[in-house]
Amino acid sequence: MTPSYIIWDADPQIFGLPVRWYGLMFAIGFLLGYEIVCRMFKHEGAPERWVGILLLWCVAGTLVGARLGHVFFYEWDSYSQHPMEIFKVWKGGLASHGGAIGVILGVLCFSYFTTKRSPLWTFDRVVVPIALVGCMIRIGNLMNSEIFGTATDLPWGMWFVRSYEWQHTYPGIACHPTQIYEAICYLALFGLLMWMYWKRNAECRPGLIFGTFLAGTFLPRFFIEFIKNNQNEALEATMTLNIGQQLSIPFVIVGIFFIVRAMMRPARHIDFPNAFPDEPSSKKKK
C-alpha cells in the first residue's frame, strides 16, 4: 500500500554550496519586486531614481523589522539576557509581522524624505510585489524544512526528515506543509493585486490595494496558524490564540478599514504617461 505522506529531504544549500535556497528566494523576490515597481513608476511617470531608493528602504525595513520582531515578539526573555545574540541573524529567527512593521516604517521614511507624497501612494504600489516576496520566502522556509504544521493524515502531509524539530516532536508522523499553504495564498494575492492595478485601475482609489494586501495577507495567516506549530511553545502553549494570530488581527482590521474608506470615496483621476520624467542631470564643463 502506498504511504499517504511525502518524504521531504531537500538540501537547504544549493547543490552543496555555502548558499541557501532561502537566501536565493529572498533575493529573487526583491529583484522581481524591483522590476514590477519600476514598471509601475514608469506607467505613472514617477522618477526612475525613486525605485532604487524605495528598494533600499524596503530591504532594510524587512531585515531589521523581521529580526527585531522575532526578538521582541517571541524570544525577548532569552535575548534580553544575551543581547549580542540579536546580531547573529545567521542562526535564524525572523518574524513576518516584524518585517511588515519594518516595511511600513521604511515607506513612511521614503515618503517623507523622497516623494513628498502621501504614504498611501507608495503603499498601494509597493505591496503588490511584497505579496510575491512573501511567497518566495515561504518557499525558502520549505527548503529549510522549517515553519511546518501539526500532524495530519492528508495525502500531502510531509515527513521533514532534515528538521531537528520534526525528528524530536513528530518522528514517523506526517505534518501539514504550512509553508506551501501560505505560499499559495500569497501567490494568489499577488495575482489579485496585479489584476487590480493593471486591469481595474484600483490605484485610483487610494488605500484600496494596500487594504486588500493587509487583509489578504494576514487573514489567511490567522487561520493557517491553527495548524502551525507554535514558534515559542513554552510561551504560547496555553494561549487560545498564539502570538502570530494576535499580531495578525490588527493588520486585518486596518486592511478592512482602508478597503471601506477607499470604496466610500470617489476615485481620483491619474494620468498615465508610460514614461519616466526627464530629470536634470549634471553636465561636464566644456
Segment 152-209, tens digit of pLDDT: 999 999 999 999 999 999 999 999 999 999 999 999 999 999 999 999 999 999 999 9
Non-local (6+) Cβ contacts of 189 within 8 A are 131, 212, 213, 216, 217
pLDDT score recorded for residue 212: 98
Do 7 and 175 meet the contact criterion of CB atoms below 8 Å apart?
Answer: no
Task: Report yes or no on whether pTM surpasses 0.85.
Answer: yes
pLDDT in tens, 216-264: 999 999 999 999 998 877 778 888 899 999 999 999 999 999 999 999 9
At residue 283 the predicted structure's pLDDT band, cuts being 50, 70 and 90, is: very low
pLDDT of 281 > 70? The answer is no
Amino acid letter at 224? I
Whether 74 has a pLDDT exceeding 90, the answer reads: no
Distances (CA, A) of 266 to 204, 205, 263: 9, 7, 7
- What average pLDDT does this structure show over 75-101? 84
117 has pLDDT over 90: yes
Contact assessment for residue 251 and residue 217, using Cβ atoms and an 8 Å cutoff? yes
Phi-psi region at 45: left, alpha or beta (left = phi > 0; alpha = psi -120 to 50): left
- The Cβ of residue 243 has, within 10 Å, a number of other Cβ atoms equal to 18
Q: Which of 118, 87, 116, 157 is nearest to 258 (CA)?
A: 118
